Amino acid sequence: MQSVAIFPVIIYFWSGKRKSMDVFSVLWCRVTKRKYFLVFLAILAFTAHLYSFQVKAENGYRLWLRYDLIENPVLRNKYASAVRYIVFPQTTETCKVAFSELEQGLSGLLGFTVPLSDKVHKNGAILAGTISSDPEIARNVSVQTAESLGKEGYLIRTGEVNGKKCILIAANSETGVLYGVFHFLRLLQTHQDISALNIFSAPALQLRVLNHWDNPDRRVERGYAGFSLWDWHRLPGYIDQRYIDYARANASIGINGTVLNNVNANSIFLTSLYLLKVKALADVFRPYGIRVFLSVRFSAPVELGGLSTADPLDHQVKEWWKQKADEIYRLIPDFGGFLVKANSEGQPGPQDYGRTHADGANMLADVLAPYGGVVMWRAFVYDNRSANDRAKQAYIEFKPLDGTFRKNVLVQVKNGPIDFQPREPFHPLFGAMPNTSLMMEFQITQEYLGQGTHLVYLGPLFEEVLSSETYACGKGSSVADILEGKCGNQSLTGIAGVANTGTDINWCGHPFAQANWYAYGRFAWNPRITAEAVAEEWLRMTFSNRDEFVEPVKKMMITSREAVVDYMTPLGLHHIMGYSHHYGPAPWIKDAPRYDWTSVYYHRADSIGLGFDRSPNGSNAVSQYLSPLREEFADPDRCPEKFLLWFHHVPWNKKLASGRTLWEELCLHYCRGVDSVQQMLNTWDSVGKYIDHERFTSVKMLLDIQFREAVWWRDACLLYFQTFSQQPLPSFCPPPEHSLEYYENLRFFYVPGN
């Protein structure tokens, strides 16, 4: 933007700095003389040239919904000729927001306002709407195609109406049209060819939900982007613009539900005062196809209703929940339902009364069923009083209940059997409950992945889990197949992602953390999309379409998750982070209120070797996987090395596939992880000229922090494990910066998200 300041300076000196006349009076006198006129035009042209090369400063607020003018005039004119006007009846609030988005997007990208028309009258129209609302659209969509689109699918097709060429955006519902509009704008944002479109897209999963672990005081558990978006104190009267922009961002990637509050729930959200606040948010989100859900505390009938029990089979308890459901649906007719964390980490639940998870879930499901509501019942349960391996406990409790849950219950299962670790094998419940609706729970926020300072693109994690072979219905049946209901009798399908949105100006804290929100939505819509394709979309929409920027940064993103696994928990290590706040390395943690909250419980390091023995000779957690996977995991020579220490206690001197010993391989991974972050830094330095200075500098500083913390992880973990291996560091590993005692004595206070 400096060129704006240059222009008056040039004028001042060219005017001769005369004291007797105003600078601009002198300028006018000179311009009127022909010999100076060309000079004046040259100054204007030079200033415009400088201005055109200024990269605007950005704070990241717009996320991937940046509708900046397409710089390439040839491409811009090509798009402009294809979208000369819009035919889009606006009969509902959803149609109005869809048209507004289309109008805003096109005017920003093309540089002019595309006019609205009531019919297709010449070439170059966009015809958008529902199939049932417009005869012209209905004539262009077959009955079979309309049926296959379902409630939320859409098509984008280049065709003709009355002999006039147009682009058709059509769906069975207004929400489907909205999704189609966002997809079309994405094509323009990423500079795709739109001359012969034939796109058909429908979501693979019915519920695509964000879980917000937000508390009524606006603190966010495991959130690293400021305070909660929801200003409960000023609701319902004050509607922040961020609520609307949040809805736009979610609709653009097909997210159709949001759980507003923490799974460690506070009963206050079920009070009449707070339900009015929830209604205000529901009213904002509704036009964008987003339903609201609430996490509920199972003991609410006691805490709010004055009952002496929350036993799910008690008549008074059932009646209390029925009346509460009636109250909610009078305020919010499209309320989505309840999310429940019960009998886990101290939360109350049906087991407190000798009942099962199915008893508790079904009681709530029955009161929601008349309204079309659902219960999402979390399978994240474990009890330190049990002698069983914590990784086995969810399976042990839920597998016997298969087929006993109501049709409007989804059992929400984390992607792995422990707790959102940098890498876990998929949860064995995927494939174990064919007669129960299971939904995936991913963590978008980076609780165990460097939190708010590490660049870790989670697309590869999502892809790895969803494509994992389960053998649930024969060879080739993946976790995605189970989620989509292809390997059982599921009546509902769904997926949930634990959000990391907050009051930070860029929504997610780290600029690249936005990519994980975006990637979650894209994988929720299509579990078979690739992480690489999603990364490229996001980069082009969020930063730049220049290949010189996109290609190296895309490679950096794709490798970032493996880098963090290497410098944190390689070869199947897990749960060795700091106690409680989960920040930084702490494999030495052995004193905690629960043994399964310690690090030593999981890595089992001793003079013989390293790793948790889950083979038939150990906890036999491998038995929870289907054959032949269980046999593969059970054999240390066949087990994938990325899961080796998850399933086996391996001797320090055992030779691995590389020919190196376990100790040497462990050291190699830790050192390689640090080197990978250095390469990320080098890559980022090389592309700074292609993007705005503000975001470049922000990411640069965070990468510097990530590098220092990767070194910290490497040095602390290797020093600690060396006390058991009693072997020297290989020559490729640099000596640690500090002693083990130094790392063990580090203390951290007020870590975000704790």
Residues 6+ apart with CB under 8 A from 552: 683, 686, 687
CB atoms within 10 A of CB 294: 21
Instruction: Give rounded-to-5 percent helix, strand, coil for the chain.
Output: 45, 10, 45
What are 90-96's contacts with CB under 8 Å, separation 24+? 91/133, 92/174, 92/287, 93/286, 93/287, 94/174, 94/175, 94/177, 94/178, 94/287, 94/288, 94/289, 95/129, 95/174, 95/177, 96/287
What gap in Å lies between CA 269 and CA 217, rounded to an integer?
A: 12
Q: Is the distance from CB of 202 to CB of 148 less than 8 angstroms?
A: yes
Residue 152 corresponds to which amino acid?
E
Integer angstrom CA distances of residue 561 from 9, 190, 354, 552, 716: 50, 24, 42, 16, 20
Closest C-alpha to 185, from 73, 83, 95: 83
Tally of CA atoms within 13 A in the half-sphere of 354 that contains its CB: 1
Q: Is the distance from CB of 48 to CB of 170 less than 8 angstroms?
A: no
Give me 212's structure tokens: 């917000």
What gap in Å lies between CA 431 and CA 427, rounded to an integer?
A: 9
Residue 189 corresponds to which amino acid?
Q
Residues recorded for the chain: 754
Closest C-alpha to 616, from 635, 600, 642, 640: 635
Annotation marks residue 664 as catalytic: no
Q: Which of 103, 245, 345, 532 is catalytic?
A: 345
Integer angstrom CA distances of residue 693 from 1, 6, 688: 12, 20, 7
Residue 315 corresponds to which amino acid?
H
Q: Which of 383, 419, 464, 694 is catalytic?
A: 419
Integer angstrom CA distances of residue 544 from 49, 123, 231, 599: 20, 31, 33, 42
Q: Which of 447, 536, 613, 692 is catalytic?
A: 447
For residue 561, give the 3-state DSSP assignment.
helix
What gap in Å lies between CA 81 and CA 5, rounded to an integer?
A: 36
What gap in Å lies between CA 356 and CA 348, rounded to an integer?
A: 12
Q: Which residue has the tokens 């000023």?
A: 234
Closest C-alpha to 567, from 444, 650, 466, 448: 448
Annotation marks residue 419 as catalytic: yes
Residues 6+ apart with CB under 8 A from 261: 212, 213, 214, 215, 216, 269, 294, 295
Helices then strands, each counted (H, E), the chain = 25, 16
Annotation marks residue 566 as catalytic: no
Q: Is the distance from CB of 405 to CB of 358 less than 8 angstroms?
A: yes
What gap in Å lies between CA 266 and CA 141, rounded to an integer?
A: 48
Tally of CA atoms within 13 A in the half-sphere of 172 that contains its CB: 15
Q: Is the distance from CB of 234 to CB of 280 less than 8 angstroms?
A: no
User: What is the DSSP track for 383-395?
Assistant: -TTS-S-GGGHHH
- Beta strands 154-161 and 198-201 are antiparallel
Give me 654's structure tokens: 């055992």
Residues 6+ apart with CB under 8 A from 591: 598
- Adjacent-strand bridge partners of 257: 209, 291
For residue 637, give the 3-state DSSP assignment.
coil
What gap in Å lies between CA 636 and CA 628, rounded to an integer?
A: 14
Q: Catalytic positions, please? A: 345, 419, 447
